[in-house]
Structure formats: C-alpha cells, structure tokens
Amino acid sequence: MSDKEAFTENDWRRLLASFGEDPNRPGLHETPARVAKAWKHWTSGYDQDPVEILKAFEDGAEEYNELIVVRGIPVYSHCEHHLAPFFGKATVGYLPNGKIVGLSKLTRLVDVFAKRLQVQERMTIQIANALMEALEPKAVGVVVKCRHMCMESRGIRTPGEETITSAMLGELQPNLALRTEFLALARD
C-alpha cells in the first residue's frame, strides 16, 4: 500500500451507502465520479509550488516604493477538522524592494493555499511567508475574512459570522503608519 492511496469512486459509493442512500439510484449514480473530480480540484494546491507562481520582475519596480495591494481575492477552502467549506475574501499587499510580481499572481498564490485542507490562521501566514520568501519585499500584509460552514451549519450554528485573520511581516510590524495605511487600503 502506498503513502498516497487513491480514494476511488467505490469509496464514495460506500460513503453514500453508509448514509442510508442507494448509490445506484438515478440521482446518485454519477455522484461518486463527480465528487472524486471535485475533491481533486478542491485539493489541487498540494501539487503547486507557491514560490514558482511568484515570478518576480525588476522592470517597473526600480522607483516604486509604495504599497501594492490586491483586495477582494476569492477564497474557497475546506477546514481540516470537518472537511467543511469556508469561503470569503483575501487582501494581499506588499511594499516592494526592487522586485514586483504580476498582480494576478497574488490571486493564484491565495488559491494555492486555499486548495489544501486548512485552518484560516495557517493559510493567512502561509500566504504572507511565501510572498516574503519569493519577493524579499520590505513588508507583506495579508488579511483574510471568511465564513465557516462548520460553524454555520453544525455546532454553534451562527450564520453570517466572519472570521478575520491577518499577518503583518517586515516593516508592517514596527511601523504603525505603514500598518495603518495597509489596513485602510484593505478595508472594504
């Protein structure tokens, strides 16, 4: 048996049967194949290297010394505790130090970490650390706001609550003015 044993359509059929369903009934007949394909997509972040995504450019950054912020980045992930979805938006910003990255790469970076089983707190710092490692900027800031279905649909059942996490690295930690500017830009 390998370390990465495949979860097959048969396993999804068994799961459906364990709920008391008939996996062969017309509405569920193709569900195991669809679910297997969906989970492959939802966990595709494991197969991606975040640093490879962040191809840096020096052209265009030589005299730019202000924050670059992309906000409203969609987050769709699954919590590692219940496999329940959580979703929301991320804001990612950095203060360049001679290198910039294509703006769409910040969205792809968020997606890499969101497409893994996660806790929001870890995902937030993973995004910040990857950006810091790849670009070596003066500062990195990440704010993530998500709704968690494990809280909304079971347990405490609190619909609409948002969890907000942040990571501030480099000059954003000691520099209150820079931190305030980033948080103002991150605000909806």
Residue 146 in marked binding region: no
First to last CA, the chain: 49
Residue 41 in marked binding region: no
139 Cβ contact partners less than 8 Å away, ≥ 6 residues apart:
67, 94, 95, 168, 169, 170, 171, 172, 175, 178, 182
Listed residue (81, 61, 74, 60) closest to 104, CA to CA: 74
User: CB of 148 within 8 A of CB of 79?
Assistant: yes
User: CB of 90 within 8 A of CB of 110?
Assistant: yes
Q: How far apart are CA 47 and CA 116, in angstroms?
A: 10
Catalytic residues: 79-82, 120, 148, 150
Tokens of 10: 């048969």
Binding residues for Zn(2+): 79, 82, 150
Binding residues: 79, 82, 150
